[in-house]
Structure 1
């Protein structure tokens, strides 16, 4: 079994093998995947998310992406998080939603990985992410 970011992302698809083959064959940079199967997504405003990412330990953080304008920074988190997480300006995607993700090994202008998935399955730890967001918010004053 492969242990790559692409393989790991594809596991969220209804038919992982077909999805992965199609993504590789077509050369598409972006593909929709269902959230809430292997991970949820928390998207925070970029001016908070970028400094929070800087607080997280690079050895333990999970996948993180951003949109082309850097308006939002999105953290892949454990399944079920989106139903419980409450925060001003935070958007979430969980069960029943789809999110467009960039190929982990190809460049994309619309959405790009700040921390690509490495195939390990590691997600962002909620306690550490919350602490990083608080620290980042404290540094911003009233954001």
Structure 2
């Protein structure tokens, strides 16, 4: 990513903060993680890391556009996919968590990890998000693959 893309990504992410300027300043000083409100610019679907990483592999194909912003939380073992806001979205299933209006998401700066949070795909500042249908299809395929592998891996 170019410096311009990093800067646009920072502005895009910080726009969801209560005080975007203070958020950007904290990130510039290396002070880590901001709590950003979901539901206005984006929602976040959080899934168990094995499922999320396999789904990312399925989404990241040469013939497809780059996936939307995606976070990994190594402490919690979760992957968060940034989606268009939709408080009525029917995301459900074992281990799925959906953050929309009224929820807060811990977010590191787009240009470096902070403690246990890291961007797999940082925001590029264009506002591009995951397409819900493509993400749902990738999660279904990934879930099927994990179900087949579970008996082989003793899980």
- TM-score, normalised via structure 2 length: 0.81
Structure 1 residue aligned with 2:79, among 73, 79, 82?
A: 73
User: Residue 103 of structure 2 corresponds to which residue in structure 1?
Assistant: 97
Q: RMSD value over aligned CA atoms?
A: 2.0
Query: 3-state DSSP class of the match of 2:80?
Result: strand
Residue 7 of structure 1 corresponds to: 11
Match of 1:122 among 116, 122, 128: 128
Q: Distance in 1 between matches of 2:116 and 2:68?
A: 20
Q: Which has the larger radius of gyration?
A: 2
Contact 1:75/1:124 (8 A) holds in 2: yes
Report what 2:43 is aligned to: 40
Q: Is the 8 A contact 1:36 1:93 kept in 2?
A: yes
2:112 touches 2:118 (CA, 8 Å); kept in 1? no
Unpaired runs of 5+ residues, structure 2, are: 151-155
* Distance in 2 between residues matched to 1:69 and 1:98, nearest whole Å: 17
* Alignment of structure 1 residues 15-34 onto 2, 5 Å: 15-24=19-28, 26-34=29-37
* Structure 1 stretches of 4+ moved >4 Å: none
Structure 1: give runs of 5+ residues left out of the alignment.
none
